[in-house]
Structure 1
């Protein structure tokens, strides 16, 4: 199982790791690299997977297999075009870093020697996704309806709301409320609860899971991750989420609601972007 360094620090731009395995020909064009740890976030919860580069270390790699030491005379860099998560039949989660299958000849040797590599994230892209993802949490705080779907993208993002309880959504009013919260620069923190504790908390706070069709993220230890905006004494938003977020709302800068669309009798799609 891959250690998820992005949960410890979403701002890490580079790190070192060891290659555990290679899955050749994951699809027609890509193979997958599995590492012992990663800063690359895999596609999930509406957030796209990270991209970047992985380079073998020319000075030689430390390895737990002392019978097969590895020393790379020339470093090799591969482009990672996407990161996804795969669950095995036993429930183990592997994070696949997808690279061009044309590099299989060299990369297959990495796994045999547990090659040490440097991971470099396309952080400008990730940081914008972090800001976008956090902006959607703020949107949840402003629009008090159940969420029926959503997507996070570089240029624009959206959430769909079930407004069957009544009421209307006004683009200008929502934009004003969003930026009033951003301006106060509330902190964004994360913590985990054991599944039983989470279920008990959810009985009193159903909004912990805003999208009914999506199961809350559960880690290997059976814990559920929560993202909280604001202090407990002035709680802005609290919900289960497995994505990456900024540390404070001021980092989002400015949110603009671009459009509110009808997607059914009671379904409304709120599209937004950030400066």
Structure 2
């Protein structure tokens, strides 16, 4: 397993690591700041540096065995070599802002199932099982109010058994949260006693909602008899 440093500190922009394996899809490191594509969030991109060389890293991928695979352009040093990997921070930070906004969007629809979603640097979307949604102005006003309240974003974990006993924590109908070593990571927005949102998530997030900036609701679409898609963007 790759040590995923972003789970403890999503603000880390680079780290030193050791190459443990070369795979057809890319390089496996013992530790990384790169998030691998999963759960609707794109994988990170950036660079890998070592004495006398540098290579671009394409979108990080998730290996079947839980490792993070770093696709690179050109040749990399041999197994055992020490390298420094650095994120395309502007792109990653927008994904963090978007992902936290998606959780705020969920908080506005308590008890409503999420049927799909995708995070992007320029536009993101969530699909809800919501036949008669409010107009997009309603969503935009409430999202920006939650952003302006500058709620803290924190992390904790519960056991798989605790999650199974509280199925209402899982908002997504088609994707189950990641489980590792019998534990499930929870993302909390707001106070511990009365959070704005609390749900399992393995992605990267900002430290406070005020870091998101102004949110624009771009479109509200019908994607079936009950399925409604809400697309959002961020102002720079």
TM-score range, shorter chain: over 0.9
In the TM superposition, what whole-angstrom CA distance separates every residue of 1:147-166 from its partner, at most 9, and x where no partner exists? 100100011100001115xx
Deviation of the 1:14 alpha carbon: 1.1
Are the equivalent residues in 1 in contact too, given 2:49–2:83 (CA < 8 A)? yes
Equivalent residue of 1:82, what SS? coil
- Is the aligned partner of 1:216 residue 2:193? no
Deviation of the 1:193 alpha carbon: 1.0
Are the equivalent residues in 1 in contact too, given 2:17–2:85 (CA < 8 A)? yes
The answer for the alignment partner of 2:186 in structure 1 is 226
Equivalent residue of 2:166, what SS? helix
Q: Give me the whole-angstrom Cα distance separating, in 1, the residues matched to 2:202 and 2:134.
A: 28
- Is the aligned partner of 1:121 residue 2:87? yes
Please point out which of 110, 123, 126 is paired with 2:78: 110
The answer for the alignment partner of 2:8 in structure 1 is 8
**Root mean square deviation, CA, Å:** 1.2
Question: TM-score, normalized by length of structure 2?
Answer: 0.96
Uncovered stretches (5+) of structure 2, i.e. residues with no partner: none
Deviation of the 1:218 alpha carbon: 0.8
The answer for the alignment partner of 2:122 in structure 1 is 155
In the TM superposition, what whole-angstrom CA distance separates every residue of 1:216-269 from its partner, at most 9, and x where no partner exists? 1112x1211111111123311011111000010000111111110010111100
The answer for the alignment partner of 1:69 in structure 2 is none
The answer for the alignment partner of 1:63 in structure 2 is none
- Is the aligned partner of 1:175 residue 2:140? yes
- Is the aligned partner of 1:54 residue 2:21? no
Uncovered stretches (5+) of structure 1, i.e. residues with no partner: 27-31, 59-74
In the TM superposition, what whole-angstrom CA distance separates every residue of 1:22-66 from its partner, at most 9, and x where no partner exists? 013x3xxxxx0000000000001110000000111x2xxxxxxxx
The answer for the alignment partner of 2:208 in structure 1 is 248
Q: Give me the whole-angstrom Cα distance separating, in 2, the residues matched to 1:255 and 1:143.
A: 17
Q: After the TM superposition, which residues 27-38 of structure 1 pair with which residues of structure 2 at under 5 Å, given as runs? A: 32-38=26-32
The answer for the alignment partner of 2:199 in structure 1 is 239
In the TM superposition, what whole-angstrom CA distance separates every residue of 1:128-149 from its partner, at most 9, and x where no partner exists? 1000000010000113321100
In the TM superposition, what whole-angstrom CA distance separates every residue of 1:78-106 from its partner, at most 9, and x where no partner exists? 1001101111xxxx312100113xx24xx
Deviation of the 1:215 alpha carbon: 1.1
Equivalent residue of 1:33, what SS? strand
Equivalent residue of 1:259, what SS? strand
The answer for the alignment partner of 1:200 in structure 2 is 165
Q: Give me the whole-angstrom Cα distance separating, in 2, the residues matched to 1:86 and 1:19.
A: 15
- Is the aligned partner of 1:257 residue 2:225? no
Equivalent residue of 2:203, what SS? coil
Question: TM-score, normalized by length of structure 1?
Answer: 0.82
Higher helix share: 1
Please point out which of 60, 66, 88 is paired with 1:83: 60
Q: Which runs of 4+ in 1 moved over 3 A?
A: none
